[in-house]
A and B are shown apart, each in its own frame.
Chain A
Amino acid sequence: MLKVLRRLREMGVVGMNARNGDYIARYNSRRCYPLVDDKLRTKKLATDAGIAVPELYGVIEIEHQIGRLAKLLEPHQEFVIKPAHGSGGNGIVVITGRTNGRYRRANGALVQLDDLAHHISNILSGMHSLGGQPDQAIIEQRVVFDPLFEPLTYRGVPDIRTVVFQGVPVMAMVRLPTLQSDGKANLHQGAVGVGVDIASGQTIRGVWMEEVVAEHPDTGHPVAGLEIPHWDELLTLAARCYDLAGLGYLGVDIVLDRHHGPLILELNARPGLSIQLANGFGLRPRLERVESLAVIPECAERRAQLACELFADPRRQRGGGDTQEQRSAATEGIAVGPRVHATA
């Protein structure tokens, strides 16, 4: 037991108490929580800043508006209904199509308009919101995920979770829904978490149900060695979300849409700790590295760049002799190196 404790401490694994006390309490101003807890506000902020998000089809704020639901849904074959204040992927219904006036859910079940209305009514009454306050229901574009993830997904939409610390992305993972997670990309509920090398965007290893796995449990496809497209763009996007929300310790969930590229799905003021399991690294050394920086660049692109220099996975190191040079250059806020062109 004590050995485990010592090893975990050596690896710098951040526990729940340390996350809450040393990072969230210290770097996340409570004032900023509403920005990320209310997905509607997040969406608006992002849109205003020119960051791509899934398109908003409509908002239902009061019970009475449910009567117009049919009309609202009319133009859309596929859409997602979610609570504005939901957490952990709860209360999200994904409709992938229509058959004979019924709606087909992502898990294949057919539901009627009445069922959707009841679900929205539940959302409004606060069933899925934090603390149970009355809530709003968001109806938005269904993300059609990048074909890259096709063999690695069992229903639902995989997303990429990045932990951004003081604007610098420090760790990332892909979350793959499984049969067990019922299409949700939440590790607690049985999704697979796959660690991603911050520098290259390559997947490293997977964790499922808190055990290391090599393959997706449903599709059997190996999870490591995947190269995530638009990685630099994605990393910059994550870094930009810091400017948006003002939260020092932030979880950014991004989906890769087949047609629209990376879209911000939601922001999280209390990102979970399983990302460490997925990567096989503790967060603390990286967080402390960022804390020790004298200056953190203003520009999101440079911060993403900085993350690539600082947190390249040693297991994926392509052995460039210029690493040291790049690092020092990056800390001084000067962008050098071959990767700059990709982000520019």
Chain B
Amino acid sequence: MKDLHLRLLAFVLAAAGLGLCYYKVTALGLPLQPITEAEVWTVEARIGFHADGGPAQVQFYLPNQPPGFTVLGENFVSGSYGLATDFAGDNREARWSVRRANGRQVLYYRIQLAEATSMSLPRSEPIPAYPQVPNYSEPYRSAVMSVLDGVRAQSADISTFTRQFLVRFNAANPDKDIRVLREGIRDDVHRVRRIQRILAGARIPSRTVYILRLQDGMRQGTLEPWLEVHNEREWLPFDPQTGRPGYPPNALVWRVGDDPLAEVVGGSQAEISFSTMKSIREVLGVAEERARLLDSRVLEFSLFSLPVSTQNMYRVLLLVPIGAFLVVLLRNIVGIKTFGTFMPILIALAFRETALLWGVFYFILLVGLGLAIRFYLETLKLLLVPRLSAVLIVVILLMAGTSLVSHKLGLVHGVSIALFPMVILAMTIERMSLVWEEQGAKEALQQGVGSLLVAIAGYLVMTNEQVAYLVFVFPELILVLLAMTLLLGRYSGYRLTELWRFRAMLRSAD
């Protein structure tokens, strides 16, 4: 195939750029839009108890890779207690212990969470065994069987079965069987246990999980029981009150199972309360912490690790490839003539400081004045280098003069033309005057206007907030740009302006 080598190279570059970008978006949660802030939840569990005076030990369940969230950090405030964390089945637990404790004791556990991105880690759990059908007593037994049979007839799989059952179980106007089943339910925990026991009649594995609904500024929150059933592939959560599948929004799964949340040895009157708080943090900070937790080194090499002043420099520098690509498009595909290949881009960078209209105004002013003086210098018959230097000196004097006059007139933008690339301006003036003399004013103006147009286009692209954000946060996208530039390097089709240039070919052929 033609240009196979080039195409492969471009493909590899583009794949590398896009791949890295994809990873950063999906795994690390860097947004593609310039949103700079993300919600971070801070949840605090407070465990209070009355110590008996001897050794005390507290065992407390902790969230373990809660679905929908990534853990940014956690800490324990526990005074003189020794601390160990451990995995226990599906759960994690903390064990505080102290040799002597007396009176009121308070332990704190604090966890910071950010909303997870699409790729949350799958929880690897063994498939649970099918439960044995419990030994129901009559008339309870016949009520269970009648309800389960009814539900089975109206459902297709475990998921729909559970849902159907829960809807029926929680019906506002329960029938006779349901009334029997619902009799004597004390609280929500008891209700979920009752449901589990009935589902076991259909040999459906189920479990209780405890969730915490996150609300900003919540104090004294408690865990809420939730129902999960296993469909031979994964655990499916259901609202035990309504039968709706899934967790409620902003719900944090704290732990799985029915054991007491905390166990205190050597103390009594344990009380546990939760408080939650929402805060806004820099998205990038959140992403960095996520990367640290995922053991990813990608963000260690992000531009954000540079000192701020250097960062700001690269914010500008990384826009230059965009400008260069634009020049390729406008020159080789459209066919606009410009003075110098990258002069328009440097001018466009200068426009960033002066704002567009003023930038164009000052550019025309400077080039116009410079040209006039250059034409005058021509009559002096100077040697090339002294003449170029003279033009450069004149350009700088003009810039200073323009800044001064604008300042006196109260035009703030005039002050920033000091950022115009003066050497480039001087060369532009020199080349423009040469083209003017040798190829006529028309050609010179054409190229001048072409340069200005490219500069304006460059300005518009390079000041686009989205573009600036993308190249800085995902500098690997520049590889994609490089790939496209390489491919355009073998473009041998017509330039847009050539369609106009060669139009006489067609007229005569007709």
Contacts and interface: CB of A to CB of B under 8 A. Distances in A.
A207 B509 CA distance: 14
A211 B504 contact: yes
Contacts of A17: 332, 491-495
Contact of A16 (B335, B489, B504, B509): B335
Interface in B461-510: 489-495, 498-499, 501-509
B1 interface: no
Interface in A193-219: 205, 207, 210-212
A205 to B, nearest CB: 7
B492 A21 contact: yes
B340 to A, nearest CB: 12
Interface of B: 332, 335, 381, 383-385, 434, 438-440, 443, 489-495, 498-499, 501-509
20 contacts: A5-B494, A7-B505, A7-B509, A8-B498, A8-B505, A9-B494, A11-B506, A15-B495, A15-B502, A16-B495, A17-B495, A18-B494, A21-B491, A21-B492, A91-B438, A115-B381, A125-B385, A127-B384, A189-B440, A212-B507
B496 to A, nearest CB: 8
Given A11-B505, A15-B493, A118 B381 contact: yes
A276 interface: yes
A342 interface: no
A16 B383 CA distance: 35
Contact of B502 (A8, A18, A126): A8
A282 interface: yes
A127 B434 contact: yes
Nearest to B488: A17
Contacts of B504: 207, 210-212, 277
A22 interface: yes
A102 B309 CA distance: 63
Contacts of A122: 383-384
A121 B384 CA distance: 8
A280 B494 CA distance: 17
Given A1-B499, A21-B490, A122-B384, A13 B439 contact: no
Contacts of A280: 505, 508-509
10 smallest A-B Cβ distances: which pairs?
A125-B384, A18-B492, A15-B494, A118-B381, A21-B492, A4-B499, A15-B498, A90-B438, A280-B508, A17-B492
Contacts of B509: 7, 11, 280
Nearest to A189: B439
A122 B378 CA distance: 11
A188 interface: yes
B486 to A, nearest CB: 12
A273 B495 CA distance: 13
Interface of A: 1, 4-5, 7-9, 11, 13, 15-18, 21-22, 88, 90-91, 114-115, 118, 121-122, 125-127, 180, 188-190, 205, 207, 210-212, 276-277, 280, 282
A58 B495 CA distance: 43
A61 to B, nearest CB: 16
Given A88-B438, A122-B384, A125-B384, 7 more contacts: A16-B335, A17-B494, A114-B381, A125-B383, A188-B439, A210-B501, A276-B502
B506 A4 contact: yes
B492 A22 contact: yes
B508 A4 contact: no
Contacts of A22: 492
Contact of A205 (B335, B498, B508): B508
A9 B502 CA distance: 11
A180 B440 CA distance: 9
A10 to B, nearest CB: 9
Contacts of B383: 121-122, 125
A282 B505 contact: yes
A7 B506 contact: yes
Contacts of B495: 15-17
Please indicate which of the listed interface residues B335, B502, B503 has the most CB atoms of chain A within 10 Å of its own CB. Answer: B502
Contacts of A9: 494
Please indicate which of the listed interface residues B335, B491, B493, B494 has the most CB atoms of chain A within 10 Å of its own CB. Answer: B494
Contacts of B434: 127
Contacts of A8: 494, 498-499, 502, 505-506
B493 A126 contact: no
B438 to A, nearest CB: 5
A5 B497 CA distance: 11
A21 B507 CA distance: 27
A208 B509 CA distance: 17
A18 B493 contact: yes
A130 B368 CA distance: 25
A280 B502 CA distance: 10
A8 B500 CA distance: 11
Contact of A126 (B381, B384, B438, B501): B384
Contacts of A7: 505-506, 509
A8 B506 CA distance: 7
Nearest to B507: A212
Please indicate which of the listed interface residues A22, A125, A189 has the most CB atoms of chain B within 10 Å of its own CB. Answer: A125
A88 B434 CA distance: 13
Contacts of A91: 438
Please indicate which of the listed interface residues B493, B495, B498 has the most CB atoms of chain A within 10 Å of its own CB. Answer: B498
A344 B383 CA distance: 51
Contacts of A11: 505-506, 509
A149 B440 CA distance: 25
Contacts of B505: 7-8, 11, 13, 276-277, 280, 282
Contacts of A189: 438-440, 443
A11 B508 CA distance: 12
A16 B496 CA distance: 11
A180 B442 CA distance: 12
Given A16-B335, A17-B491, A21-B491, A4 B503 contact: yes
Nearest to A16: B495
A125 B389 CA distance: 13
